[in-house]
Structure 1
Amino acid sequence: MKFKKIAVFIISAVTAVSSLTAFSSFAELTTENENQFSDGAVVYEKIKNGLKVVKCDSSITDIKISDKVNGYDVIEVDEKAFSGIEKLKSVTLPDSVKSIGKYAFSNCLSLESVELPEDITELPEGLFANCQYLSSMDIPESVTVIGMGAFMNCFSLEELNLPDSVISLEDYALNNCYGLKSLELPANLENIGSLALGGLYSLTDLTIDSENDSFTIDDNILYDKDKKTLYLSTDTERSGELSIPDTVTSIEGYAFSGCTNITSVTIPESVKRIGDDAFSYCSSLKEVNFSSGIEEIGNYAFQYDKLIETISLPTTVRKIGAGAFADDTALTSVIIPEGVSSIGAAAFFNCSSLNSVSLPSTIQTVGEYALGFVENSDSSDAVLKENFSLSVFSDSPAKDYAKTNGINYDTADLNLKSLIFIVICVVLLIIVIALAVRIMKKSTKHENNKTEIPDSADENYKSIIDEDDSDK
Structure 2
Amino acid sequence: MCFRKKLWSIVLSAALVLGTAIMPANMIFAASDNESQLQAMAVKSGTLQYGDSFKWTLDSKGTLKITGKGFLYLSLDDLGDIKNDIKKVVIGSGAKEIHFSFWSFSGDASLPKLAEISIPLTTKVLSGSLRECENLSVVTGGKNVEDIQGRVFEGTKWCQSTEHVVLGKTYIAYNGTGKNVVVPEGTVAVSEAAFQSNKTIEAVTLPVSVKKIGSYAFKDCSSLKKIHGGSSVTLIDYDAFLRTPWLDSLNETTMLGKVLMKYKATAKDYTVSEKVTQIYEGAFSKCDNLESVTIKGKITEIPRRAFENCTSLKKITMPNTVTNIAYGAFDHCSALAKISLPSRLKKIETGAFIFCRSLQNVQVNGGKTNTKLQSIEDAAFAGCNNLKTLTIPWGVTTIGDYAYGYTDGGGDENSERDMVQKMMWGDEESVPKLNAANIIGISQSLGHYYAKENGIKFTATKKGSALKKPTVMINNSGELSISKVVGATGYEVYDKSPYDKHWCKAGTVKAPVRKYMTYELKGYKYKVRAYRETSTGGYQYSAFSKIKTTK
Bin the TM-score by the shorter chain.
Answer: 0.5 to 0.7
Could you tell me which amino acid in structure 1 is paired with residue 87 of structure 2?
Answer: V
Residues 246 and 270, structure 1, Cα contact 8 Å, conserved in 2: yes
Q: 2:255 matched to 1:222? A: yes
How do 1:112-127 and structure 2 match up within 5 A?
113-115=160-162, 120-123=167-170
How do 1:171-250 and structure 2 match up within 5 A?
173-175=214-216, 177-180=218-221, 181-182=224-225, 184=227, 186=229, 190-193=232-235, 195-196=236-237, 199-205=240-246, 219-222=252-255, 230-233=259-262, 238=264, 243-245=269-271, 247-248=273-274
Equivalent residue of 1:365, what SS?
Answer: coil
Pick one of 343, 349, 357 that aligns with 1:331: 357
What's the offset of the Cα at 1:243? 3.6
Pick one of 324, 327, 345 that aligns with 2:376: 345
Q: Within 2, Cα distance between the matches of 1:56 and 1:274?
A: 33
Could you tell me which amino acid in structure 1 is paired with residue 255 of structure 2?
Answer: L
Taking only aligned residues, the RMSD between alpha carbons, in angstroms, comes to 5.5
Q: 2:311 matched to 1:286? A: yes
Could you tell me which amino acid in structure 2 is paired with residue 408 of structure 1?
Answer: I
Q: 2:404 matched to 1:359? A: no
Q: State the percentage of identical aligned residues.
A: 6
Change (3 A) 1:252 1:201: same
Q: Structure 1: where are the runs of 5+ without partners?
A: 1-28, 207-216, 415-472
Q: Within 2, Cα distance between the matches of 1:121 and 1:307?
A: 44
Q: Within 1, Cα distance between the matches of 2:108 and 2:461?
A: 66
Residue 270 (structure 1) aligns with: 296
Residue 409 (structure 1) aligns with: 457
Q: 2:277 matched to 1:256? A: no
TM-score for both structures, normalised by structure 1: 0.52
Q: Within 2, Cα distance between the matches of 1:103 and 1:168?
A: 16
Residue 132 (structure 2) aligns with: 85
Change (3 A) 1:80 1:156: same
Residues 76 and 97, structure 1, Cα contact 8 Å, conserved in 2: yes
Q: 2:34 matched to 1:34? A: no
Change (3 A) 1:372 1:153: farther
Residues 325 and 348, structure 2, Cα contact 8 Å, conserved in 1: yes
Q: 2:225 matched to 1:151? A: no
What's the offset of the Cα at 1:286? 0.8
TM-score for both structures, normalised by structure 2: 0.46
Could you tell me which amino acid in structure 2 is paired with residue 409 of structure 1?
Answer: K
What's the offset of the Cα at 1:245? 2.9
Residues 91 and 118, structure 2, Cα contact 8 Å, conserved in 1: no
How do 1:457-468 and structure 2 match up within 5 A?
none
Q: 2:87 matched to 1:43? A: yes
Change (3 A) 1:325 1:355: same
State the number of aligned residues. 341
Change (3 A) 1:316 1:261: closer
Q: 2:433 matched to 1:387? A: yes
Q: Within 1, Cα distance between the matches of 2:127 and 2:442?
A: 51
Pick one of 422, 439, 442 that aligns with 1:377: 422
Change (3 A) 1:114 1:318: same
Q: Within 2, Cα distance between the matches of 1:396 and 1:249?
A: 43
The structure with more radius of gyration: 1
Residues 297 and 319, structure 2, Cα contact 8 Å, conserved in 1: yes
Residues 351 and 380, structure 2, Cα contact 8 Å, conserved in 1: yes
Q: Structure 2: where are the runs of 5+ without partners?
A: 1-39, 45-57, 64-83, 94-99, 407-418, 463-551
What's the offset of the Cα at 1:308? 2.2
Superposed CA deviations along residues 110-169 of structure 1, whole A, max 9, x for unmatched, are 998452789853228xx67xx9x999897773643217xx215964256484553x6243
Pick one of 308, 318, 331 that aligns with 1:305: 331
What's the offset of the Cα at 1:262? 4.2
Change (3 A) 1:379 1:289: closer
Change (3 A) 1:254 1:289: same
Residues 254 and 279, structure 1, Cα contact 8 Å, conserved in 2: no
What's the offset of the Cα at 1:87? 7.3
Residues 233 and 256, structure 2, Cα contact 8 Å, conserved in 1: no
Residues 146 and 168, structure 1, Cα contact 8 Å, conserved in 2: yes
Residues 293 and 316, structure 1, Cα contact 8 Å, conserved in 2: yes
What's the offset of the Cα at 1:177? 3.7
Q: Within 2, Cα distance between the matches of 1:48 and 1:361?
A: 48
Residues 179 and 202, structure 1, Cα contact 8 Å, conserved in 2: yes
Change (3 A) 1:173 1:163: same
Residues 390 and 410, structure 1, Cα contact 8 Å, conserved in 2: yes
Q: Within 1, Cα distance between the matches of 2:177 and 2:425?
A: 33
